[in-house]
Structure 1
Amino acid sequence: MKIKKILNNNTLLVSDKGVEKIVIGSGIGFQKKINDIVDKSKIEKVFVMEDKSEYEKFEEIVKSFPQEYVDVAENIIRYAENKLNVELNPHIYIALTDHLAFAFERFKKGIIVKNKLLEEIRSLYFDEFKIGIWAKEYIKQKLNIEIPEDEIGFIALHIHTAKNNYKDITITMDIASIIKDMTNIIETNLNIKIDEQSISYQRLKTHFHFALKRIIKKEKTFDIDEELFEVIKTKYWRAYNIAKQIQQHIYDEYEYSVPDQELAYISLHIQRIINFA
């Protein structure tokens, strides 16, 4: 494993048997030169990007922002991987570092970006949100920067995106946004304010969350017996009509196609909300 580029004291671009890789480790690049052999005892993380442009983007980020910004982002990622017991998609090193670095510069100027999906993120991505809370304290300790709660939500989004191996954060935001839209459609049709802590709503949200992930990934959704489907449509017609509105809204606004079979399950969950309204 030979050094191709020294991005900073802690980050190297290396060649390992002809494959370009990013190597991270405390002081791994200190007093090193191109073509030096990497000290494997200092390696803390090795990852491969999808294409060359991502290496160039990562190099640009590492060289454009203060070292401490990059270190903080890397340590948050490392903490997240340990807490979630998963290896996050390497693209998070670009996405999260870039986001945090610009956010830190905004905070210095007193500019705060509101996170309109904060409550949905807090509820849907609970484990990732807890990591964001830890990150808030860590950033304060390391950089003396007090990030707002909105940023906890953004950090959680980036972590969830990388955990699920999505290509970009848009999909994660779409899911949270669709859940919010779904809630609004149900409340408008029933003229109620949903108790978001109720078991009925939590079950609907959980089912819909995983259904959306299957739909976005183009995985097979649940089948349902045709006769049972017709019974649900007839018996719970009000809930089914609301489900149809949700289906149409998702297609119109997000261009995701919710299969008709999925409407039966959504209708049953909506009916439970109707029963307790």
Structure 2
Amino acid sequence: MKINKILNNNAVVVKEGTEEKIVMGAGIAFQKRKNDVINQHKIEKIFVMSEENEKFQELLRSLPEEVIDIAEEIISYAEGYLQVPLSNHIHIGLTDHLSFAINRTKSGYPIKNKLLNEIKTLYAKEFHVGEWAIRYVKEQIGLTMPEDEAGHIALHIHTAKLDSSNMQSAIKHTSMITELLELLEERIGYPLQRNSISHQRMVTHLHFALNRFEMNEPFHDIDPDMLDLIKSKHEEAYRYAQAMGEYVEQEYNVSFPLSEVGYIALHIQRIIDRT
């Protein structure tokens, strides 16, 4: 395997037939030139990026090597911890994002994540990876990043899982849930206890409800007598649930059936009872 192009000290491009591959490894290009043979023992990762090949090469040429190395360590840790392969795009998306976040933090600009509480609940394992990542950044370059950044990294990791939704869909759903919870807080007149079990169950339920609608899957039925009981016994909670259903229909054209409104009302009542 011969070097066709050197991107940085730890990354080169090789050509096998008509196919270009990016080969990475610590010091793989040290004191090397084009057409030199690669030391096989230094190869750690090989990528075939297809249409994104040029963008990845540009990142490897332009970004500091320490940032690239940190991003690759985070990706390796994520794949090991989650026990799932991540799509090749994560090497572009996370590296680019991490570089921006590090520069922003160094410049003194705050990093905020409005979806942080919902991310913690919906993507707990990925958030653990995000927490590990900001600790690793601190160890490597002495930069303290906020918990909000762990949430951003968690979303990148989640959407890179090969069976997951894309970033746009994940952010949309999480934003919708955040808006619904803010609407509920406005209606009940006090802030929700974001770390409570009742809150976490509500977030998870809304997440699956939105997924069912998007995937055109049937919602769970509810006995008509049970629904009537919820309406009469938990009138206030049912009214709030109706308001949440009307909101997603008006703002996002998402329609919840009456059975789903009933289940949401039960979750709201648990929150009220435990407050």
Range class of TM-score, shorter chain: 0.7 to 0.9
Aligned to 2:165: 166
Contact preservation (8 Å) 1:221, 1:262: no
Structure 1 residue 87: deviation in Å? 1.0
1:1-277 superposed matches below 5 A: 5-15=5-15, 20-30=20-30, 41-49=41-49, 51-52=50-51, 54-163=52-161, 165-168=164-167, 170-216=168-214, 218=215, 220-224=217-221, 227=224, 231=228, 234-235=231-232, 238-253=236-251, 255=252, 257-260=254-257, 262-276=260-274
| CA offsets 1:157-196 (integer angstroms, 9 cap, x no match) | 211222254333x332223322222222222233344333
Structure 1 residue 76: deviation in Å? 0.6
Aligned-partner Cα distance in 2 for 1:176–1:85? 24
Contact preservation (8 Å) 1:129, 1:153: yes
Aligned-partner Cα distance in 1 for 2:190–2:36? 67
Structure 1 residue 107: deviation in Å? 2.4
| Identical counterparts, % of pairs | 44
Structure 2: runs of 5+ lacking an equivalent? none
TM, length-normalised to structure 1: 0.80
Equivalent residue pairs, number: 272
Aligned-partner Cα distance in 2 for 1:192–1:58? 47
Aligned-partner Cα distance in 1 for 2:15–2:144? 39
| CA offsets 1:228-272 (integer angstroms, 9 cap, x no match) | 68647754565444333323323444x362442543432332343
Contact preservation (8 Å) 1:21, 1:46: yes
Tell me the C-alpha RMSD between the 2 structures.
Answer: 3.1
Q: 1:136 to 1:198 in 2, by over 3 A?
A: closer
Aligned-partner Cα distance in 2 for 1:150–1:94? 21
Aligned-partner Cα distance in 1 for 2:90–2:36? 28
Q: 1:200 to 1:137 in 2, by over 3 A?
A: closer
Aligned-partner Cα distance in 1 for 2:108–2:176? 31
Contact preservation (8 Å) 1:232, 1:267: no
Aligned-partner Cα distance in 2 for 1:232–1:38? 72
- The 3-state SS of whatever aligns with 2:79 is helix
Q: 1:104 to 1:275 in 2, by over 3 A?
A: closer
Contact preservation (8 Å) 2:15, 2:21: yes
- The 3-state SS of whatever aligns with 1:7 is strand
Partner amino acid, structure 2, of 1:117: L
Structure 1 residue 9: deviation in Å? 3.3
Aligned-partner Cα distance in 2 for 1:256–1:102? 34
Structure 1: runs of 5+ lacking an equivalent? none
Larger CA deviation: 229-238 vs 106-115: 229-238
Aligned-partner Cα distance in 2 for 1:166–1:37? 40
